[in-house]
Structure 1
Amino acid sequence: MSPSPTWGLVATIKAPTKDILNFVAHHLDLGAHRVHVYLDAANPQAEAALRAHPKCRVILCDDDYWHRRRRKGRPDRHQPRQSLNATHCLNKRPQVDWLAHIDVDEFLWPASPLPEQLAALPEDTLSARIRPIEALAPDPADPPAAGTHWFKSCALLQMPRREQTNAIYPTYGPHLNGGFLSHVAGKVFVRTGLPDISLRIHNAFRDKVMDDAPAELPDTHLCHLHAPSWEDWQAAYRFRLEQGSYRDSLKPAPQPGGGGLNMHALFRMIEDEGGETALRRFYDEVCVASPALRARLAAHGALHSIPLALDEKRQKHFAGFV
């Protein structure tokens, strides 16, 4: 591997053109050598923009693609489609030394250049984990600067995380994992060019065995725009409840002695008690960057202000399209 390794991304995406190009432009601006986009649905405008950029690679995952890839055709659930596409990219032509598998609403934010961080990893490292921070919705009465987002983080270890979560989120903390609505596991970079490697949503596998001790990249955040506004959250809520990150099969937040509700059960309970009004109360306490919530987060070192400047980057890299 070169002393300054190259890095890139693979993502399976079904999203508006603006969101796709925001995602790609941000990572091109960071220095990604390749961005591989597997379009989960036809999007001619986004596809044209990506094909016009020398560092982008795009595959339309239509019926022909899935019948070539799998005898049974397109998997019904999006999670297997993401994993199959990421592994396909990894094993074909990733064209980089390190490949990260992330989603369209996730944005890497390194404190130092990523090639330096990756070059510093031990030579036997298979994968390296990037920990998430989750977006807060702007408080209409006290918004951040243009292009800037507030994010929350959580403690890495479970016992400090449980104490922190209960203190920061007084009503719903006991039911939440770090105060996050989505994953706390993060995503991984995987070293390319090795045999028998596959990717899932949060982990890399060698010979079908999970790399259960990946290295850490503590100088890089994974900025997750999971619920950046009430409207965005509601637009995705029912799908996530049935098939996505709030589905009933997922584990609950860790609790001393076990037990607790998973996100599916929590949201069902909230809706049963008060419908959309109760869901809005939950969202306002847990997800809106009110001065009170920001103060509690800051007291625990869990508040982050990130100037993503996505509109500016999109216009820079894809000026002729959006």
Structure 2
Amino acid sequence: MTDVTWGIASTILAPTRDILQFAAHHLSAGAHRIYIYLDAPNPQAFEHLNANPKIRVITCDDKYWKQRKRDRPAMHQVRQTANATHAYNKRAEVDWLIHMDVDEFLVADRPIAEILAERPADPPATRIRPMEQLSGNASVFKGFIPSGPDRARITADLYPTYGKDVKGGFLSHLAGKVFVRTGLPKIHVRIHNVFQDGKMLDCHDPQDGIDLAHAHAKSWEDWIAAYRYRVTKGSYRPELAPNKPHEKGGLSMHELFTRIESEAGEAGLRAFFDEVCADSPALRKGLAGHGFLREVELDLVSHLSQHFPDYTGV
């Protein structure tokens, strides 16, 4: 046993069931506090969350932003970082805090608190690298391929058509999320990094024993429904960097998807999805052959029933 505690800060706009499953999973994983900022009013979710003593829930309505003495930021990424920093700078109720999204789930081979308790005082942050769910199966993931000379070769082997354009084979981020010790001065929490007094905080990388299971594309229907927002304002938006410099033939995800759509429309997007995202025997075999197939049973329904037994939307 250890006295070390950890918590999560998350800004969420999602169906009630998804919000509660996210919270329930991390309560089962040992979170001591979960700070949830509802990006829009959700009375049903608020009621269930507020009833749990380990959860602090705030509705980010006009009153909230007025209390923060600022206008509501137009970009959700800015709202996320503002709220995560707000959670960090409150009176510390945990020893470690991490900012996460509603489709991300911490998984570990032993209690997370025990792993964090073993971290030395310096550096004061530790990076949790992601693994990305194969669409159609909630328990199968592609593992994170470390940067280096083998990444491009492995990715091209796994994804013969699009591997050269998709960094590490991941549609979403490879940066993961960062646990940071609480109580440090002048901290600003961003989505994938933490800054102190304007300088990026030193970070242990990676943290062995903990993974970030990312359900970025649960199904084709789920992915294509979110696609238009992501390609304009989200994780595929125009201003994000290419997978490698343009002069070396690199493309950003926005550029890649724009090209696919212009050449083949939605059918082209589906072909991309089937190669890179879908849970297929061929992709499983390839991932296993390279040592990057991950199988994890999140058991979200059981956790939901355990921690929110009055919720009837199961």
Deviation at 1:159, TM superposition (A): 2.0
From the superposition, tell whether residues 256 and 155 of structure 1 become closer, same or farther in structure 2 (CA, over 3 Å). Answer: farther
Which of 291, 299, 302 pairs up with 2:292?
302
Q: CA deviation at 1:253?
A: 1.0
How many residues align? The count is 312
- Deviations along 1:267-308, whole A, 9 cap, x unmatched? 011111111111111101111111011001111111111100
Preserved CA contact (<8 Å) 1:253 1:260: yes
The residue that corresponds to 1:141 in the other structure is none
Alignment of 1:51-200 (within 5 A): 51-71=50-70, 73-138=71-136, 148-200=138-190
Please list, as runs of the form range in 1=range in 2, the aligned pairs for 1:184-223 lying within 5 A after superposition: 184-223=174-213
CA deviation after TM superposition for structure 1 residue 258, in Å: 3.3
Secondary structure of 1:188's counterpart equals strand
| Cα shift at 1:154 | 3.0
Alignment check: 8 A CA contact 1:153 1:178 kept: no
TM-score by length of 1: 0.94
State the Cα distance separating 1:254 from its structure 2 match.
2.7
Is the CA contact (8 Å cut-off) linking 2:125 and 2:202 kept in structure 1?
no
Decide whether the 8 Å contact of 1:45 with 1:321 is kept in 2: no
Give how far 1:257 is off: 6.9
Normalization by structure 2: what TM-score? 0.96
Q: Which amino acid aligns with 1:137?
A: S
Question: C-alpha displacement at 1:214, in angstroms?
Answer: 3.3
Deviation of the 1:228 alpha carbon: 1.1
Give 1:25-40 correspondences, 5 Å limit.
25-40=24-39
Extract unaligned runs of 5+ from structure 1.
139-143
3-state SS of paired residue (2:208)? strand
1:256 Cα offset (Å) = 10
Tell me the amino acid that sits aligned with residue 22 of structure 1.
Q
Q: Is the 8 A contact 2:127 2:203 kept in 1?
A: no
RMSD (Å) for aligned C-alpha atoms: 1.5
Deviations 1:201-238 (A, max 9, x none): 00111111111443431211100000110111011111
Q: 1:212 to 1:256 in 2, by over 3 A?
A: farther
Instruction: Report what 2:253 is aligned to.
Output: 263
CA distance in 1, matches of 2:246, 2:48: 50
Amino acid at match of 1:225: A
Question: Given the alignment, which residue of 287, 303, 308 partners 1:313?
Answer: 303
SS of the aligned residue for 1:24 comes to helix
- State the Cα distance separating 1:122 from its structure 2 match: 1.1
SS at 1:174's partner residue?
coil
The 3-state SS of whatever aligns with 1:175 is coil
Which one-letter code corresponds to 2:195 in the other structure? F
Q: Is the 8 A contact 2:124 2:202 kept in 1?
A: no
- Residues 256 and 262 of structure 1: CA distance in aligned 2, closer, same or farther (over 3 Å): closer
* Percent identity of equivalent pairs: 53
SS at match of 2:249: coil
